[in-house]
Amino acid sequence: MTLPNYLTLTRIFLVPLLVVILLTPVSEDWFGIERYALAIIIFLAASLTDILDGYLARKRNQVSKFGTLFDPIADKLLISAALIALVEKHLAPAWAVVIILGREFAVTGLRSVAASEGLIISAQKIGKIKMWAQCTAVVALLIAAANGTPPVSNFGWSMPTFRFWEVPEVRTAFTNLLNFSMNTDDWRVLGYTVGRGALWVAVITSIWSMYDYFKFFLAESKNIKKSI
């Protein structure tokens, strides 16, 4: 086992811990840390291992079959667990999470089919944007949920309002931000607004990137058939 592989395994083992902390009503404080704050720390630590394992594997020439197989699995477990937990905590609409996770499984299946036909579908830039949007949404919404339900009047709606500036709490938070007089509730409101916005970006880029993947696969498949 190499260091990159250990980092991948660490990410996998952090997933159940993240779920337990978010969804188990045992205590609001874990190890003296507020549960949502600890969840953010764990999620960011797990996300960091995602960056490090690939970087170290390439730098040390330690790319392995184990890493190739389990790295994407670990990624999907982490983001799936985080998003499903957000739905359970009424922090994210279920329809958005279904689209995001559905895309993940669809693209994974497509890559498997493509590999069986000798095609390599590499990651795209839009996929990177999707990943960062997902991470931003998770962290921002967990910040919004710290110390209770985010104090936003449209919280819990299946679709957040596009005209977010009409939400009184959001207007107040932005006003206080400009006046350098932010309080805890203002930060939570901004976290909610940023999180829901990032979730929209994740949904749009999920659909967009899935379309690009399937378009590329179908085009390459036709080219292969023509060359035979």
**pLDDT score of 225:** 62
**pLDDT score of 162:** 57
**pLDDT score of 153:** 59
Q: Are residues 169 and 131 in the same domain?
A: yes
Q: Are residues 138 and 32 in the same domain?
A: no
Q: Are residues 61 and 107 in the same domain?
A: no
Domain stops at, among 39, 69, 89: 89
Q: Are residues 152 and 40 in the same domain?
A: no
> For residue 203, which phi and psi values (nearest 5 degrees)?
-65, -50
Number of domains in the chain: 2
Q: Are residues 107 and 203 in the same domain?
A: yes
Three-point CA angle 41, 161, 88, nearest 5°: 40
Q: Are residues 205 and 108 in the same domain?
A: yes
Residue ranges in the chain modelled with pLDDT below 50: 156, 158-159
Q: Which of 135, 1, 17, 114 is nearest to 67 (CA)?
A: 1
**pLDDT score of 198:** 92
**pLDDT score of 164:** 65
**pLDDT score of 36:** 84
d(CA 181, CA 175): 9
Q: Are residues 72 and 185 in the same domain?
A: no
What is the CB neighbour count within 10 angstroms for residue 145?
23
Identify the residue whose tokens are 């040390």: 60
| Structural domain boundaries, residue 47 | 1-89
Q: Are residues 105 and 49 in the same domain?
A: no
